[in-house]
Amino acid sequence: MAANATDSRLRKPPGPRDFLGLRTIDAMKRNPLELMLDLHKTHGEIVHHTLLNAPVYFFTHPDHVGHILQDNHRNYQRGRDYRRLRRLLGNGLVTNDGDSWLKQRRLMQPAFHRRRIAGFGETMVQETQKMLAQWEAPASSGKPLDVSSEMMRVTLNIVGRVMFGAAVQDDAARLEPLVTMAQREVRNRLYALVDVPEWIPLPGNRRSKNARETIDEVVTRIIAARRQSDASQEDDLLAMLLEARDPETGEPMDDDQLRDEVRTIFLAGHETTANALTWTWYLLAQNPAAAEKLRAELDWVLDGRLPTVADVPQLPYTKMVVEESMRLLPPVWSLSREAIADDEIGGYRIPAGGSVVMSQYLTHRHPDFWDEPESFIPERFSPEQAKARHRFAYFPFGGGPRLCIGNNFAMLEAQLLLAAFAQRYELDLVPEHPVELEPLITLRPKHGVMMTLRPRA
């Protein structure tokens, strides 16, 4: 229910006493997950704090998440965080808003249709097969691998091939550290006291500029190659973007918009799934009973052959493992919006212009909705248990009209890759290697995840 702007009966939610928000910023910079857990524990479901005098409202209850993302989504727009994210992604589907977003979303939606996605399965498995071949040497020598880099590489190759028909394997090694670095710069900026304009040649600005230029170099090359080829032969996302015409003017998409959409899908479409898979390996290594049950399902259904799209419905436990992994360690761990008009949530007033923040990391371990929230229990995603749960107790892909466009793509990819790798190898953590969560835009392992491969008999 929207509140009357002059409704003075509504109170301000509780929160830390921190005049300019400097202490909160400091705690946020050090460890945002700890800070959010602490705010929730101390102040409850709705917490108010300030960041440099700007009000921020932090929500954990699924009712409130559903209100913001779905029931009253028209009142919530992309805010300051997304404006800063534009420096990395440009104005593609993730950061765009309003009519321009709707137009682009409608245009791109058919490329992500469930039936089309199923057609990508073969490429996903081919790329996995290539990686399995590359894993033979480290498997026999016992040399540890950074599973996070490995997953980045395979998912980057997949998104390049299926969305843009481009081979990008030679770019993977170059792009990976840049994506990490660019995310660090974007996050540093979120808590910076002054948003230094990009043209001022400070080291941080220079680093983000270099990263973006390198990413753009790859993207521009993909677009140029397609323009020179016989584009009518292709029917992937890039073909759709190139053929699109404005219904009123008949004009094609301009070069900047095209580049921003390609850059967005390229980045949003690989790094998230790679993190989901990396965390899945990490959690499986610590939960041998679940890993054993997964392998039993794979052996029973696949009997040693590589999986196909047709096998996926026969692999329910594989899916539950991915879902449970994204519950505990969600690749996108927080979302934010900005209120357009005053609103009322949970009896509190949310003023126009206020930032609202939700965190999957917190809601996914909310004790009212999850038993033993810190334990890895894939069975909680059985259809019966999932159906009985609040719709917004679990939202790894967001919700409402801005639900992740790539969610079916990501789930198919994660299940196929996990099935193919897990039936061949058991992955063990290297004991002395520290695994530390780094909550940037995505939740990443700060020093990678070093693991050894044990071929299955």
**Where do contacts with ligand HEM occur on this chain (CB under 6 A)?**
93-94, 105, 159, 264-265, 268-269, 272-273, 276, 331-332, 335, 396-398, 402, 404-406, 409-410
- Pair type for strands 54-59 and 355-358: parallel
Question: What are the phi and psi torsion angles at 145 (to 5°)?
Answer: -120, 150
Residues with Cβ within 8 Å of residue 376, at least 6 apart in sequence: 283, 286, 287, 290, 324, 325, 328
Q: Which is nearer to ligand HEM, 27 or 355 (CB)?
A: 355
Q: Which is nearer to ligand HEM, 272 or 349 (CB)?
A: 272
Q: Which is nearer to ligand HEM, 27 or 416 (CB)?
A: 416
Smallest separation, CB 302 to ligand HEM (Å):
23
Residue 140's CB is within 10 A of a number of other CB atoms, namely 10
Q: Which is nearer to ligand HEM, 3 or 219 (CB)?
A: 219
Smallest separation, CB 241 to ligand HEM (Å):
12
Smallest separation, CB 161 to ligand HEM (Å):
12
Q: Which is nearer to ligand HEM, 3 or 410 (CB)?
A: 410
Smallest separation, CB 175 to ligand HEM (Å):
16
Smallest separation, CB 304 to ligand HEM (Å):
27
Smallest separation, CB 2 to ligand HEM (Å):
21
Question: For ligand HEM, which residue has the nearest CB?
Answer: 406
Q: Which is nearer to ligand HEM, 147 or 332 (CB)?
A: 332
**Which of 451, 402, 369, 452 shows the shortest CA–CA distance to 104?**
402
The strands making up 450-455's β-sheet, listed across from edge to edge, are: 145-146, 450-455, 425-429
Q: Which is nearer to ligand HEM, 370 or 395 (CB)?
A: 395
DSSP-derived secondary structure letter, 147: H
Q: How far apart, in whole angstroms, are the C-alpha atoms of residue 189 and residue 180?
A: 14
Smallest separation, CB 324 to ligand HEM (Å):
13
Q: Which is nearer to ligand HEM, 278 or 423 (CB)?
A: 278
In this structure, is the dihedral angle defined by the CA atoms of residues 382, 383, 388 and 390, taken in order, positive or negative? positive
Smallest separation, CB 416 to ligand HEM (Å):
13
Smallest separation, CB 227 to ligand HEM (Å):
22
Cβ atoms 187, 230 nearer than 8 A: no
Cβ atoms 271, 159 nearer than 8 A: no
- What is the token pair recorded at 26? 């400091």
In this structure, is the dihedral angle defined by the CA atoms of residues 30, 33, 37 and 42, taken in order, positive or negative? positive
Q: How far apart, in whole angstroms, are the C-alpha atoms of residue 19 and residue 35?
A: 17
**What are the E-state strand segments in 45-122?**
46-51, 54-59, 76-77
Q: Which is nearer to ligand HEM, 13 or 396 (CB)?
A: 396
Cβ atoms 188, 204 nearer than 8 A: yes
